């Protein structure tokens, strides 16, 4: 009997299916990737998933604030300890600590709310090329092959759950646009996801960590592939404003207001295809110039 391998989307969703190992204690695993460190968005999303497991289903995450403390090892499990900080009539709060070998690698505080009506306004979505007019990442890997390291080319070429289109790829993959402090990226999960809002919020938490620090570096004509740079996420914040589907096109409008003190700061807004502002993101990262041999 032939056993079918899981699809990329099934492997993604499996990351959020945590094992319960005790009261408010959960364990997560990393998918094989060949990378020496765990992708930060994975730990953020798993920490949020652990917190959500202690909540009634009618309360959905609306914000999270996380600090990356240590690099995670993808070859060993991650243990999540959830602390119940607050139970209110409309809001609940949880602290989720991610640990490996007894050391905390990430701490996250998330707030959950029942669905309520209220005042409404938002900023307008930027007008950019639609995703259908933009090249898939596999085409970009070929276009920038003379510049990209092999590992980066392979990452762009690999078959994954994510369909991503860069509006102006030179800013992230090349050096032609020194001085730009903005990037626009369309993205979606390529295959259908379950219909529950909680799953889509976990997926967006996972994806919200991508390319923000690259937007800071693009302002200087640099990339994360430069050997004389040490780049690492320090903290991450996400606010979820409106319902959305992560398997439909979303526009990630990113900008970098500041870099100083060996740190870079980026923020972004995430819009649905029809222009609704569904989420906001902010992140600061270490950006230290070092000797290439260091």
**What confidence tens digit (pLDDT) does each residue in 54-102 have?**
999 999 999 999 999 999 999 999 999 999 999 999 999 999 999 999 9
Same domain, 105 and 140: no
Residue 15 pLDDT > 50: yes
Same domain, 281 and 149: yes
C-alpha to C-alpha distance for 77 and 100, rounded to whole angstroms: 7
Q: Is 233 a catalytic residue?
A: yes
C-alpha to C-alpha distance for 137 and 228, rounded to whole angstroms: 25
* Catalytic residue selected from 209, 254, 255, 272: 209
Residue 147 pLDDT > 70: no
Q: Among 40-44, 79-83, 128-132, 140-144, which stretch is predicted with the lowest mean pLDDT?
A: 140-144
Same domain, 91 and 152: no
* Residue among 117, 103, 112, 98 nearest 45 (CA): 98
Mean pLDDT to the nearest integer, 186-207: 95
Mean pLDDT of all residues belonging to the chain: 88
Residue position matching structure tokens 């060996």: 262
Q: What's the pLDDT score for residue 208?
A: 95
Residue 118 pLDDT > 60: yes
Task: Kindly report the CATH number assigned to the domain that includes residue 286.
Answer: 3.10.129.10
Q: How many CB atoms lie within 10 A of CB 16?
A: 21
206 found inside a domain: yes
Q: How many CB atoms lie within 10 A of CB 233?
A: 22
Looking at beta carbons, which pairs linking 169-177 to residues 24 or more positions away fall under 8 Å?
169/135, 169/140, 169/143, 169/144, 171/215, 171/218, 172/211, 172/214, 172/215, 172/218, 172/223, 173/140, 173/144, 173/147, 173/148, 173/223, 174/144, 174/147, 175/147, 175/221, 175/223, 177/218, 177/221
Q: What are phi and psi of 153, to 5 degrees?
A: -60, -45
Q: How confident is the model at residue 5 (pLDDT cuts 50, 70, 90)?
A: confident
Last residue of a domain, one of 84, 114, 144: 114
C-alpha to C-alpha distance for 154 and 134, rounded to whole angstroms: 20
Q: How many CB atoms lie within 10 A of CB 117?
A: 5
Q: How confident is the model at residue 173 (pLDDT cuts 50, 70, 90)?
A: low
* Catalytic residue selected from 30, 214, 255, 283: 283
pTM across the whole model: 0.91
Same domain, 99 and 178: no
Query: Which tens digit of pLDDT belongs to each residue from 197-251?
Result: 999 999 999 999 988 998 999 888 888 878 899 999 999 999 999 999 999 999 9
Same domain, 159 and 293: yes
Domain that holds residue 18: 7-114
Same domain, 250 and 141: yes
Q: What's the pLDDT score for residue 221?
A: 83
Same domain, 87 and 188: no
Same domain, 152 and 89: no
Q: How many domains does the chain have?
A: 2
Q: What's the pLDDT score for residue 73?
A: 95
139 found inside a domain: yes
Same domain, 107 and 137: no
Residue 165 pLDDT > 70: yes
Last residue of a domain, one of 71, 87, 114: 114
* Residue among 74, 85, 75, 76 nearest 107 (CA): 85
* Catalytic residue selected from 46, 96, 233, 255: 233
Same domain, 138 and 110: no
CA distances 113 to 49, 84, 122, Å, are 15, 14, 20
Which of the two residues, 5 and 58, has the higher pLDDT score? 58
Positive or negative, the Cα torsion across 168, 172, 178, 181?
Answer: positive
């Amino acid at each position: 009997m032939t056993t079918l391998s899981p699809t990329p989307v099934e492997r993604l969703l499996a990351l959020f299916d945590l094992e319960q190992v005790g009261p408010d204690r959960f364990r997560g695993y990393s998918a094989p990737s060949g990378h020496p460190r765990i992708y930060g968005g994975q730990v953020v999303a798993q920490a949020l998933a652990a917190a959500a497991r202690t909540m009634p289903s009618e309360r959905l995450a609306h914000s999270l604030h996380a600090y990356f403390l240590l690099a995670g090892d993808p070859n060993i499990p991650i243990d999540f300890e959830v602390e119940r900080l607050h139970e209110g009539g409309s809001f609940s709060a949880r602290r989720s600590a991610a640990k490996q070998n007894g050391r905390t690698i990430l701490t996250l505080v998330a707030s959950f709310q029942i669905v309520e009506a209220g005042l409404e306004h938002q900023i307008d979505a930027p007008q950019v090329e639609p995703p259908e007019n933009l090249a898939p990442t596999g085409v970009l890997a070929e276009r920038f092959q003379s510049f990209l390291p092999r590992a980066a080319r392979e990452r762009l070429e690999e078959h994954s759950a994510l369909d991503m289109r860069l509006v102006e790829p030179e800013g992230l993959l090349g050096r032609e646009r020194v001085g730009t402090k903005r990037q626009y990226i369309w993205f979606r999960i390529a295959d259908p996801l379950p219909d529950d809002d909680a799953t889509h919020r976990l997926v967006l938490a996972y994806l919200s960590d991508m390319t923000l620090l690259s937007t800071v570096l693009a302002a200087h004509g640099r990339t994360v592939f430069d050997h004389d740079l040490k780049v690492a996420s320090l903290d991450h914040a996400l606010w979820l404003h409106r319902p959305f589907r992560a398997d439909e096109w979303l526009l990630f409008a990113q900008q970098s207001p500041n870099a100083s003190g060996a740190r870079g700061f980026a923020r972004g807004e995430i819009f649905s295809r029809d222009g609704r502002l569904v989420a906001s993101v902010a992140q600061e990262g270490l950006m230290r110039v070092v000797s290439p041999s260091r």
